[in-house]
Structures are given as structure tokens and as C-alpha cells.
């Protein structure tokens, strides 16, 4: 059990240290972009694969609680991408094939791309209007296609490699939600009223 607690300490320490390495300008631009989308009722779409996708879904849920028009790419109820929409694409490596492909198509359709990645100079980063560099991944898998990696059994290690990116992004995006709550004047009771009241057991 002590090994589990040690791992938790290492992960939390890494996330805390990452706060000093994330650009304040990128954070402020991200928050302002989201508020502009809220005020103009523009759609926000979120994409990511694997664990990054799960983090993205959690963020999308919180944006929905705040009153944003938000969707997750790949869900059956996701509407078409229109000019002026925002696509938030999450990929530690910035080369995940599915995420990059979605970003490329969305950009061609006129969406603004926001990339959350450890590699701003990656294909995903180069597509983005705004790139938020989140430290975490210290190596890139040889096979960039997530589905192919799973089929081939090429599972990336957990902490301290891939997992640190997703953990840090999760904390970062939760921080974004807290800031949006303050600026939009939304309290927890409002979030609670917008939370699903029909859940699977």
C-alpha cells in the first residue's frame, strides 16, 4: 500500500510543479476564447482518444453544466462543425492520428483549433490557433495511431510517462472550470441543477 501512496505523492507533486511551467498568456487566452464562445452561443467540440478522450469528456460535461453548447466528437448527437466553432483537441504527443485528422478537417471547415499537448511543434500544434503546452509526456510512441497501438498491444507505461500528461490536463481543465464559474457568475447550485438526473446504475 505504501507504494500506492508514494505514487500518489509523485503524481500530485508533478501536477503542482507543472503549474509553474504553463503559460499564463495561454491560459488567459483560452479562458477568454471560451467566454467569447459562451457569449456568442458558438459550439465547442472536444476530441481526444484513449485517456485524453476521457479527460476531454469530463471537461465537456463541466462546460455543459456551465451552460455552454458543447459536444464530444464521435458521439451520435454531435452536430456538424460550422465556421466559428471551437475544437478543443487533446493529445500528449500531438501526433495521434485520429485527433490530428479531426483537427485538420475542422480547421478546413472554419473552426478555431485549440490544441492541448506537450509538443507545440507537433502536427496538432501546427494546426492550432492556440496551443496550450502541458508538460507530461517524455516520449512519443513509435506507432502514432491509438487504435493500432491497442491492436498491437503497444501500451504506453503509466506514471511517470503518459499518465502524467492526462493527470495534469485534468487538473488544468478543472482549474479552467473554476475560473469560468467566477467570471460567468455561476455557482455550484446552478451546476447541480444542470447535472443529469437520470443515470445508469
22 C-beta neighbours (distance < 10 Å), count: 16
- Does the annotation mark 166 as catalytic? yes
DSSP 3-state assignment of 115?
strand
Catalytic residue among 10, 26, 166, 189: 166
Kindly give, in sequence order, each residue whose CB lies less than 8 Å from that of residue 91, ignoring residues fewer than 6 positions away. Answer: 48, 49, 52, 99, 100, 115, 116, 117, 122, 124
Distances in Å between the Cα of 77 and the Cα atoms of 72, 80, 117, 190 are 9, 10, 26, 24
Catalytic residue annotation: 166
Amino acid at each position: 500500500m505504501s507504494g500506492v501512496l508514494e505514487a500518489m505523492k509523485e503524481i500530485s507533486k508533478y501536477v503542482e510543479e507543472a503549474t509553474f511551467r504553463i503559460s499564463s498568456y495561454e491560459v488567459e487566452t483560452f479562458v477568454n476564447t471560451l467566454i467569447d464562445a459562451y457569449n456568442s452561443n458558438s459550439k465547442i467540440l472536444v476530441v481526444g482518444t484513449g485517456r485524453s478522450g476521457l479527460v476531454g469528456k469530463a471537461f465537456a460535461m463541466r462546460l455543459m453544466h456551465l451552460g455552454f453548447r458543447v459536444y464530444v466528437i464521435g458521439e451520435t448527437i454531435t452536430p456538424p462543425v460550422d465556421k466559428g466553432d471551437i475544437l478543443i483537441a487533446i493529445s500528449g504527443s500531438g501526433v495521434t492520428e485520429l485527433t490530428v485528422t479531426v483537427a485538420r478537417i475542422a480547421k478546413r471547415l472554419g473552426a478555431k483549433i485549440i490544441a492541448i499537448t506537450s509538443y507545440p511543434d507537433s502536427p496538432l500544434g501546427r494546426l492550432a490557433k492556440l496551443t496550450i503546452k502541458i508538460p507530461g509526456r517524455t516520449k512519443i510512441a513509435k506507432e502514432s495511431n491509438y487504435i493500432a497501438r491497442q491492436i498491437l498491444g503497444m501500451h504506453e507505461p503509466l506514471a511517470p510517462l503518459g499518465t502524467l500528461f492526462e493527470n495534469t490536463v485534468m487538473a488544468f481543465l478543472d482549474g479552467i472550470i473554476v475560473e469560468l464559474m467566477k467570471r460567468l457568475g455561476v455557482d455550484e447550485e446552478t451546476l447541480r441543477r444542470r447535472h443529469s438526473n437520470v443515470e445508469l446504475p
